[in-house]
Structure 1
Amino acid sequence: MGIEEYGGGQGPHSDVLVVTTNDVPGYRVQHVIGEVFGLTVRSRHLGSQIGAGLKSMIGGELKGLTKTLVETRNQAMERLVEQARVRGGNGILMMRFDVTEAADVGTEVCAYGTAVVLVKA
């Protein structure tokens, strides 16, 4: 597996800029739309759980689980961006992730932030 399978984030040609900061150098906030989020819940795959259990006994990275979590975060990000876009935003400030166990059957990943309309300063 290559490094691209273990990374995430925004592509260079997105029409909605997502940042983890309060502001964006060179831009000003013209309008605050409000909170937006993207949510997904992934169930655990029995095979990956068995593999993870065995791997945890001998140590090392749980590559299957890492890949699943990256895919899950990317899906939450896509949903976050779509929510901002639908509401008229072209930026998301203060983006964060929240990860929670969901009733012992899966993992909930929520990407959230503040949707805004950005203009060049």
Structure 2
Amino acid sequence: MLVTTTEKIPGKDYEIIGEVFGLTTQSKNIVRNIGAGLKNIVGGEIKDYTQMMVEARDVSIDRLRENAAAMGADAVVMMRFDSGSISADMQSVAAYGTAVKFID
């Protein structure tokens, strides 16, 4: 299923079905949290958390696609991400957009 951040899909006419979203909340295990805490002291990228955010983004897009497919959509336009921290070691990611059905 096509997911795009643009409002228009070149060469396609469509009708709007409605809002769709995909959500996930993830955390790292205690051993990785300790390692991240140590990295926080010396500075630099905390690669375990970067990887966690990449995984969370991918899961949220997959769930967005599943939600759109369940609504009978052919594509999702105007997709955006939102993320937030629930606690020091938990991140929530939402992918949201508009489900559309192509008009033949």
Question: Could you tell me the TM-score, scaled by structure 2's length?
Answer: 0.89
* 1:118 maps to 2:96: no
What letter matches 1:76 in structure 2?
A: S
Matches of 1:64 and 1:41 in 2, distance apart?
A: 15
After superposition, the Cα gap between the structure-2 partners of 1:49 and 1:105, relative to the gap in structure 1 and judged at 3 Å, is: closer
Query: Residues 78-106 of structure 1: CA distance to partner in whole angstroms, max 9, x if unpaired?
Result: 00000001110011011011101225562
Count of residue pairs brought into register by the alignment: 104
Runs of 4+ in 1 over 3 A off after TM superposition: none
- Give the equivalent residue in structure 1 for 2:81: 97
Q: Does 1:19 align with 2:4?
A: yes
Give the match for residue 82 of structure 1: 66
% identical aligned pairs: 44
Letter in 2 for 1:42: Q
Structure 1 unaligned residues grouped into runs of 5+: 1-15
Question: CA RMSD of the aligned region, Å?
Answer: 1.6
Q: Distance in 2 between matches of 1:60 and 1:43?
A: 20
Task: Give me the TM-score of the superposition, normalised by structure 1.
Answer: 0.78
Task: Name structure 2 gaps, 5 residues minimum.
Answer: none
